[in-house]
């Protein structure tokens, strides 16, 4: 298996961008072990992992704001991510929730 290339890095960045654009998302999260991450040149993008094998799912970890039912948020996130990754499966993990305003600042 070849290592991650520029295509997967770009895809991971694009996925991260659309995910944090959702107002219900507080931040991306790397999971219990922080292993859901993409190693970019100079930094680590936590919360998105794109396998080089297109048959493998794209992994996304998020922390959500409380307020909207999680299934609704998840459906919205899946729609957003599908616009970037197409028909590729997406494994979505809601690792935590935080109270607070849904319009709180989100940053990539």
Partner 1 sequence: MSSPTPASATPTTATATSVAGSPSRLAEDTAQGKTTISASVVQKIAGIAAREISGVHSMGGGVSRAFGAIRERIPGGGTGASNIAGVQVEVGEKQAAVDLDLVVEYGASIVDLARAVRRNVITAVERMTGLEVIEVNIAVNDIHLPEDDDEPPVAPAVTPAPSRVE
With contact defined as beta carbons under 8 Å apart, do 44 and 38 qualify? yes
> Residue 41, Cβ neighbours under 10 Å: how many?
6
Task: Name which of 45 and 73 has its Cβ closer to partner 1.
Answer: 73
Output the six-digit token pair for 97: 């929730």
Q: How many residues does the chain have?
A: 108
Least distance from partner 1 to the Cβ atom of residue 51, Å: 12
Task: Name which of 6 and 101 has its Cβ closer to partner 1.
Answer: 101
**Which 16-75 residues touch partner 1, going by CB under 8 A?**
57-58, 64, 66, 69-71, 74-75
The reply to whether 14 sits near partner 1 by the rule CB under 8 A is: no
With contact defined as beta carbons under 8 Å apart, do 46 and 34 qualify? yes
Which positions from 67 to 96 touch partner 1 by CB under 8 A, shown as an x/- string? --xxx--xx--x---x------xxxxxxxx
CA dist 31 and 29 (Å) reads 6
Output the six-digit token pair for 18: 């659309």
| Residues found near partner 1 in the complex (CB under 8 A) | 57-58, 64, 66, 69-71, 74-75, 78, 82, 89-97, 99
């Amino acid at each position: 298996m070849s290592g991650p290339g520029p295509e997967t890095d770009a895809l991971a960045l694009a996925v991260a961008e659309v995910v944090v654009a959702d107002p219900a998302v507080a931040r991306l999260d790397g999971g219990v072990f922080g292993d859901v991450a993409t190693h970019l040149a100079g930094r680590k993008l936590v919360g998105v992992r794109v396998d080089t094998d297109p048959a493998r799912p794209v992994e996304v970890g998020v922390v959500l704001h409380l307020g909207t039912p999680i299934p609704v948020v998840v459906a919205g996130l899946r729609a957003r991510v599908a616009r970037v990754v197409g028909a590729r499966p997406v494994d979505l993990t809601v690792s935590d929730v935080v109270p607070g305003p849904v319009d709180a600042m989100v940053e990539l």
